[in-house]
Structure formats: C-alpha cells, structure tokens
Chain A
Amino acid sequence: MTDPDKAKRFDAIVLPHLDAAYNVARWLARNDADAQDIAQEACLRAYKFFDGFHGDDGKSWLLAIVRNTCYTWLEKHRGRAREESFDENIHGDDPTFVDTLPHNNPEVLLMQQASKRIIDTALERLPVECREIIVLRELEDLSYKEIADIADIPIGTVMSRLSRARKLLRDQLERQSADLQS
C-alpha cells in the first residue's frame, strides 16, 4: 500500500472514530491532559500498524489500541494516576461551563449541573475495568461482541463484568443522591 493510499484509507476508516477514541481515553485516564497524550499516542500507533489492519470495523480496532495504550500508560504512571482514588481537582469548577449551557434560568442551570456532576462523578469512582465496560457499552453503544474484541475477553466475562459494573454504579448513584439530600 502506498503512503497516499494508506493515508486516504486511514482518514476514511479510522479518523471518524477520533471522538470515541478520545472519550474512552478520557474516561480511563480521568483528566484532559493525560487523555490527550494517550489518544495521540494511540492514533500514531494505529497509523503505524494500519498496514496490518484488513478489517472494516475501524472503531473496534482503534479502541482496542486506545485501551492498550491507556493501560500501559496507567501502569507507567501508577503513582501519579492514583487509580481508584478520587481527585477533587478533576471536579473543580469549570468557569467555562455555565456560560455554554443552553439555558439561563439559574435554577434549571443548577439542577442540570448537579445531575451531570453526580452522574460523571459516580462513573469516575468505579474501578477502571467497570468504568471501561460502562463507557464502551453505554456511551459508545458497542455490542458484547465488539466489547469482547476490544477488551480481549470472552463474551461471558463481558456479561459478568457489565452486571457487576451496573450494580456498583447504582450503588454509587444512590450514595451520592443520599449525600446530596443530607
């Protein structure tokens, strides 16, 4: 495959899934700066190994690379990433947030902000393998088969992990809404 052909194919098959790649990296890394580094590195690796890709499911293929890059990265930066702990700094107030919301009723704003914050925080607090499976299933809307391919696990494991992740997520949401009401 000549380079221009390769670039054209890569543009058509892989690049449309850049948002998905970033989304997965962002949820696994839990902060913007790391997610950018991971996504960039994963895309460069994808391009490098693209000659060996002959399928048509560019999304699963790219996400598998993103995932591997993420885990390698998390392993390398274990001390810094503080896996499983919760970093309040990640959830600090974002000054651009309020200005970009589509409503300007302060009450509605507050409610929306609160619910979004609760959901995001609950998801962030899940152990990484649970977070990963929820993001792949619910946010990226992938099938069990696709998730099994990406995470390199049997479909049975996809099912049991998903069931565990959903239970943990519900517990988290309940805990947070209890916190909110107390």
Chain B
Amino acid sequence: MNCSEARNRIHAYMDGELDLLRALAVEAHLFTCAGCRQLHAQHTAARRILRGHATCFTAPAALRTHMRRLTATAGRTGDRQSWHSRLLALASTWPAFGAALAFAVVATWTVSAQFLVEAAADRLPQEIVSSHVRALMSARPADIVSADPGNIRPWLNGKLGYSPRVDDLAPDGYTLVGGRVDYVREQRVAALVYRRLGHSIDVFAWPVSASDLPVRALSRKGYNLVNWTYEGMFFCAVSDLDHAELTTLARMLQRDAG
C-alpha cells in the first residue's frame, strides 16, 4: 500500500470501518511510514480532544416533559405554542472533563511512540492469536527445535537480521522448545516457543522504536495475551494459559541476565 492509498483510507481505518485485510494493510503502512503515521496521530489526537471536550447538549427538561405529556395523552397532536422555558438542565449536565490542556496538545500535535504502539495494537492481538493457532495446528510449531538459546539466537539472526532475548527457563517451569519465523502485520517476525505443563506458549518479538512499556494483558477468542517491550523489542506472549503465568514469563524475560 502506498501513501495515497493509505491516506484515502485513514479515516475509515480510524473509525473501524475497514475490513480486516484492508485494516491490516493500512496498519502495516503506518508502521513503516513516518509521514502517514504522523497524520494518523494528528487525526486521532484531534478526535480524542473533540470527544473529550466538545459539548454534548442534552434535551432541555421542558422538551422532555412536553414529549412525555404528548405520548401520555396519546392521540392528541399536542399544542404548538412557542417555548419560553429556560435551559435549566443544560448547565448541570455538562460532562466533567479532565485537566488536560487541550490547546497545548493541539499546538504541539505530539506524536508519542506509546500512542503508535497502542493504535497499532488494536488489531494486533487478533492477528497474533491467529498465528498462534496456526502454529498449534501445524505439525512443526518450531522451525528450529532446541532448548539451547545459543542455537536459536544465531538462527533467528541469520533469518531476520535480529534476535530477541532467548532464555532457557526450564528451571522455572518454562521449557524452551525452539523458535520459528512467523508472519505478523505483513512482516517476518521472530517467534519463540515455550512449553509449560503441556501448554504451548508462543512469544512473538520484533524491534520497535518505542521505549519500554509496562506489561499489558488481554484476551482474544479464549486465548490470553501479555505484551511488553524490552530493550527496543516488542514482545507478545500468547497461550491458553492464564494471564498470571504469562506475566511470570514476561517478568523472567525482562530480568537481568545471569
């Protein structure tokens, strides 16, 4: 997808009006194109400000009373006298708003890396679960089968030009099975395969520019996901194990080596 196609679809993408394939294509483009990413971030920021601060007017009490009276005395078309009632209810129904200084945000249009990751993360879980399920059904969930990080890292480096941190965590109950190259958001990414108590865990990883993010957990289609960033890599662990066990793994993959 090129920039002009992406920009044509950026609003429909933001509004959740694209089908999955098109949304992924836009997402992939945003991931690689700083210009379109910035445009997307600006539109999203403007929308957040608008939704957070623009006045949502509510019907004056008099209008409500009038319509109730109309339907209560069903059949009469209602008197058409003009209105003189004041908007008593209006002032009290203004939504509370946060202390964010909207104009400062508007003036600077900052594009935060965290925002980028979050926006792209909308559809990502779905895709990661699909990749995990594909691997579960495949006869070979790992392309390289080894419990030795010293074998897996050079193999991934050779295939992808990078390798995430790989730890053998067997003493902690997470056995390293191997690694493979998977395909997420239209690019090749690293996937590590761990096993715990008979359950398979995939840990997807690829480089990102965002700084370290805290661990976040969510669920899709009966699978649990936990994602985090560590030393310039985005990680997402997915499994049918519960969040606590995935979070433990996430912590171990972030602790100091040695």
Contacts and interface: CB of A to CB of B under 8 A. Distances in A.
Contacts of B12: 144, 159
A67 to B, nearest CB: 15
Interface string A93-134: 010110111110000100110111011100100000000001
Interface stretch (B44-52, B182-190, B242-250): B44-52
Contacts of A102: 96
B41 to A, nearest CB: 12
A7 to B, nearest CB: 4
A15 B57 contact: no
A86 B42 CA distance: 26
A35 interface: yes
A14 to B, nearest CB: 9
Interface stretch (B24-32, B85-93, B157-165): B85-93
A96 B50 contact: no
B103 A120 contact: no
Q: Determine the main DSSP class of A at the interface with B.
A: helix
B102 A118 contact: yes
A19 interface: yes
A97 B11 CA distance: 34
Contacts of B104: 177
Contact of B51 (A100, A139, A173): A139
B47 A22 contact: no
Contact of B50 (A48, A119, A159, A180): A119
B101 A37 contact: no
Interface in B72-111: 72, 74-75, 77-78, 80, 82-83, 85, 87, 90-92, 94, 96-97, 99-104, 106-107
Contacts, number: 150
Given A36-B63, A144-B15, A166-B46, A118 B71 contact: no
A143 interface: yes
B98 to A, nearest CB: 8
A100 B71 contact: no
By size class, the interface of chain A is 35 or more
B170 interface: no
Contacts of B17: 143-144, 159
A153 interface: no
Interface string B3-47: 000000011100101000000000000000000000000110011
Contacts of B106: 118, 173-174, 176-177
Contact of A120 (B55, B72, B91, B99): B55
Interface string A1-23: 00110111011000100110111
B102 A119 contact: yes
A3 B90 contact: no
Nearest to B55: A120
A176 B94 contact: no
B47 A138 contact: yes
B15, B50, B85, B101 pick with most chain A CB within 10 angstroms:
B50
A47 interface: yes
B56 interface: yes
Interface string A150-182: 000000000100110010011001101110110
Contacts of A181: 107
A117 B63 CA distance: 25
Given A100-B92, A170-B46, A177 B107 contact: yes
9 contacts: A3-B75, A19-B59, A112-B97, A118-B102, A118-B103, A119-B53, A120-B53, A123-B50, A162-B15
The 3 A-B pairs at the shortest CB distance, nearest first, are namely A115-B102, A7-B74, A3-B75
